[in-house]
């Protein structure tokens, strides 16, 4: 007998059905891209439930989710880089920022900006804002991309490891849904 509400069991079974439908990679990549550059929300919204539904696919889904969010964040970096001329021009004059202040700020970001990117990818902080700011202020692209990739890979691969090493089994035990439940019973209950 499971301690989970019945709707969670039905939801997990539905996720397994969706994961078996063959489009989970596309959904995870698409959501990662959209979340990386447009929509607010958790980057792991589709990756984590689909990985829990089919833990044997967790690492592949982690890599796909990482690719989507990295592409989206790189797009925002370039948007921010294009906005730099506006920041240095009329906006800087409006707020009384001198060219020297921008040069000093850029030097600090060149030194420490990658750490800010890494922190934003590992935390619930918005990577979108950090990506735009990095491009706008002039964090070197190589440092930005390396920190972004390292942070996203660390996060998604750690979650995939948790799914594969007990997380999926704990969820299945809690909901009372065995790993082969959808194959044995056909479609999940409605």
- Number of structural domains (the chain) is 1
Query: Domain for residue 100, yes or no?
Result: yes
Global pTM reads 0.69
> Does residue 20 have a pLDDT over 50?
yes
Average pLDDT for residues 21-27, to the nearest whole number?
A: 77
The pLDDT assigned to 189 comes to 39
Query: Domain for residue 71, yes or no?
Result: yes
The pLDDT assigned to 132 comes to 83
Query: Domain for residue 1, yes or no?
Result: no
- What is the maximum alpha-carbon separation in the chain? 69
Query: Domain for residue 112, yes or no?
Result: yes
For the stretch 104-156, pLDDT in tens is 766 766 677 777 777 777 776 677 878 888 888 778 899 899 999 999 899 88
More reliable by pLDDT, 148 or 31: 148
Domain that holds residue 168: 6-184
Query: Domain for residue 190, yes or no?
Result: no
The pLDDT assigned to 110 comes to 67
Query: Domain for residue 153, yes or no?
Result: yes
The pLDDT assigned to 163 comes to 83
> Does residue 99 have a pLDDT over 70?
no
How far apart (Å, rounded) are the C-alpha atoms in residues 82 and 188?
A: 49
Write the CB contacts of 119 (distance below 8 Å, at least 6 apart in sequence).
Answer: 125, 151
Detail the DSSP E strand segments found in 10-124. Answer: none
């Amino acid at each position: 007998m499971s301690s989970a509400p019945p709707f969670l069991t039905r939801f997990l079974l539905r996720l397994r059905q969706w994961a078996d439908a063959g489009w989970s990679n596309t959904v995870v990549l698409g959501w990662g891209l959209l979340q990386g550059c447009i929509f607010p929300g958790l980057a792991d919204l589709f990756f984590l439930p689909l990985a829990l539904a089919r833990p044997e696919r967790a690492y592949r889904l982690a890599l796909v989710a990482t690719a989507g969010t990295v592409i989206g964040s790189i797009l925002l970096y370039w948007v921010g880089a294009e906005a730099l001329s506006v920041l240095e021009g009329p906006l800087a004059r409006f707020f009384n920022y001198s060219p020297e202040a921008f040069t000093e700020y850029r030097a600090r970001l060149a030194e420490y900006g990658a750490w800010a990117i890494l922190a934003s990818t590992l935390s619930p902080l918005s990577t979108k804002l950090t990506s735009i700011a990095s491009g706008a202020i002039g964090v070197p692209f190589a440092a930005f991309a390396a920190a972004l990739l390292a942070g996203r890979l660390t996060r998604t691969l750690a979650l995939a490891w948790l799914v594969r090493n007990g997380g999926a089994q704990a969820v299945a035990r809690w909901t009372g849904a065995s790993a082969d439940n959808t194959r044995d019973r056909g479609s999940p209950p409605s």
